[in-house]
């Protein structure tokens, strides 16, 4: 398996005056097969009707790709299922499917969307393209374009709808629209200026430029996604002390030897680590909101927070997180920032119950912690494409 992380981000704006976007983006991570599937569909027209067509297409494309259905057969099924207008006119949605197999092979299937832009070493990269006819008499002349390649570190894939390439259409600067070659050139300039530009930042820059081309009043639904293959950043979150006290030293040594950034969520856990490493825990910041426990500082750690309340709030933030979320400086917000900045996340959950406290709620609290952590792991893997290693000790 390749030793890089696949960072994915997607940004979109709907056409002016529309309540919903006619472009739809769906994703699925099939962990047991090491596959990630991305689907972007653009329904004909815009508004609710376009959204329904695109949602149908994206959902079917995701499911059929998951089952390894041949693309020309799957596309034939999409075309037959999509509703027709009362005059019998065809309704259709374009689509781009990107399938990443175990980070070792990328397959891109495109029907009528602008071609994906692949950049290697900051320059256009054009793998061999195969054209395939969609099966069925009613689909004569309809072609799928399929590309496959083995990704290398620092490769980027840009996938978009024609709202991007046709932005500015009819204006003085881009009378024929911004155009795919210009979009590619714009992305290349951004990478030259900032070689490690994130998928999020690049997608936002492209979308903002398309909006500027349309004087910030989008003429069409406009979407841009970026896939970025890069060096993974590792992070460790520790919550709860290990079950056996005799394991404290071994547990602390492992935490100490971890090369990346790390945080502790839980006072007892911090006390054990401080004791074993002969470090001091100092209260760093108290909050006006009494419901937010103070943050502490300990050498070698980004931060030390309270345990279960903080983790519960982290789960809430991740549940509702979107590209428009603006995080504050509370402990849960800071934890989420660190989770978002890293790719491979090691979570160590201690399972010790401190019977000395004589607290009948402690076993319940442990179960809540386990449940909350498992929810966080699920969100990180499925919504944010993080690689998470969860361990109970």
* The three-state (H, E, C) secondary structure of 249-270, written as one string: HHHHHHHHHCCCEEEEECHHHH
Q: What is the pLDDT of residue 166?
A: 95
Q: In the numeric block, which tokens belong to residue 367?
A: 């179960």
Q: Which CATH superfamily is domain 5-230 in?
A: PPM-type phosphatase domain (3.60.40.10)
pLDDT of res. 358: 46
Q: What is the pLDDT of residue 293?
A: 75
In the chain, what are the domain boundaries?
Answer: 5-230, 234-392
Q: How far apart are CA 180 and CA 167, in angstroms?
A: 11
pLDDT of residue 157: 97
Q: State the DSSP H helix or E strand holding residue 208, giving kind and residue range, or none if neither.
A: helix 199-213
* pLDDT at residue number 46: 84
Q: Return the sign of the alpha-carbon dihedral for residues 185, 190, 194, 197.
A: negative
Contact 235, 275 (CB under 8 A): no
Burial class of residue 349 (count of CB atoms within 10 Å of its CB; 0-12, 13-18, 19+): buried
The pair of structure tokens assigned to 160 is 């978009």
Q: What is the pLDDT along the chain (393 residues), one digit of tens a residue?
A: 457 888 899 999 999 999 999 999 999 988 888 899 999 999 988 889 899 999 999 999 999 999 998 888 888 887 777 766 555 566 678 899 999 997 689 999 999 999 999 999 999 999 999 998 887 777 777 889 999 999 999 999 999 999 999 999 988 889 999 999 999 999 999 999 999 999 989 999 999 999 999 999 999 999 999 999 998 889 999 988 888 777 788 888 888 889 889 999 988 888 888 888 888 888 776 665 666 777 888 898 999 988 888 899 999 999 998 777 888 888 889 999 999 889 899 999 888 765 444 455 556 667 888 889 999 999 998 888 888 999 888
CA 340 to chain centre: 9
pLDDT at 103: 66
**Backbone φ and ψ of 154, nearest 5°:** 80, 5
**What per-residue confidence (pLDDT) applies to 1?**
46
What was the pLDDT predicted at 337? 92
β-sheet bridge partners, residue 133: 143
Is residue 333 within a helix (H) or strand (E), and if so which, with residue range? helix 331-341
CA-CA distance, 57 to 240, in Å (whole number)? 45
DSSP-derived secondary structure for 125-148: ----EEEEEPSSGGGTT-EEEEEE
Per the structure block, which two tokens stand in for 245?
Answer: 């006290």
User: Which residue, among 268, 271, 281, has the nearest Cα to 354 in the 3D structure?
Assistant: 268
Strand order in the sheet with 234-239: 282-285, 295-297, 303-305, 261-265, 234-239, 344-349, 387-392
Contact 306, 239 (CB under 8 A): no
- SS3 call for 8: strand
Question: How many C-beta neighbours within 10 Å does residue 192 have?
Answer: 11
Name the residue with tokens 């996604």. 225
Q: Phi and psi (nearest 5°) for 105?
A: -145, 135
Tokens 């200026």 sit on residue = 193
Q: What percent of the chain has pLDDT over 70?
A: 91
């Amino acid at each position: 398996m390749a030793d890089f992380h696949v960072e994915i981000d997607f940004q979109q704006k709907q056409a002016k005056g529309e309540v919903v976007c006619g472009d739809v983006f769906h994703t699925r991570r099939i962990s047991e097969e090491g596959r990630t599937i991305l689907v972007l569909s653009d329904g004909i027209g815009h508004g609710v009707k376009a959204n329904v067509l695109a949602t149908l297409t994206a959902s079917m494309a995701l499911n059929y790709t998951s089952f390894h259905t041949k693309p020309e057969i799957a596309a034939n099924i999409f075309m037959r299922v999509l509703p027709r207008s009362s005059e019998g006119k065809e309704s259709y949605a374009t689509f781009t499917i990107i399938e990443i197999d175990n980070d070792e092979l990328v397959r891109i299937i495109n029907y009528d969307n602008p071609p994906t832009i692949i950049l290697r070493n900051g320059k256009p990269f054009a793998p061999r393209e195969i054209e395939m006819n969609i099966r069925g008499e009613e689909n004569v002349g309809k072609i799928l374009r399929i590309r496959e390649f083995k990704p290398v570190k620092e490769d980027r894939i840009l996938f978009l709808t024609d709202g991007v390439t046709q932005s500015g259409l009819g204006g003085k600067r881009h009378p024929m629209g911004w155009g795919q070659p210009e979009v590619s050139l714009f992305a290349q300039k951004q990478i030259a200026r900032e070689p490690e530009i994130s998928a999020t930042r690049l997608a936002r820059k492209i979308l903002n430029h398309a909006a500027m081309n349309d004087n910030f009043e989008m003429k069409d639904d406009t979407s841009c996604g970026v896939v970025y293959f890069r060096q993974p950043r590792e992070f460790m979150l520790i919550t709860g002390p290990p079950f056996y006290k005799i394991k404290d030293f071994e547990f602390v040594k492992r935490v100490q030897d971890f090369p990346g950034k790390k945080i502790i969520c839980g006072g007892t856990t911090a006390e054990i680590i401080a004791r074993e490493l002969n470090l001091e825990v100092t209260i760093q910041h108290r909050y006006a909101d009494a419901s937010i426990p103070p943050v502490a500082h300990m050498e070698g750690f980004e931060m030390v927070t309270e345990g279960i309340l903080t983790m519960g709030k982290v789960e809430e933030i991740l549940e509702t997180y979107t590209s428009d979320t603006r995080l504050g400086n509370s402990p849960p917000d800071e934890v989420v920032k660190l989770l978002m900045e890293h790719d491979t996340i090691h979570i160590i959950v201690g399972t010790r119950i401190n019977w000395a406290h004589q607290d009948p709620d402690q076993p319940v609290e442990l179960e809540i912690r386990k449940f909350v952590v498992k929810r966080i792991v699920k969100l990180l893997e499925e919504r944010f494409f993080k690689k998470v290693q969860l361990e109970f000790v």
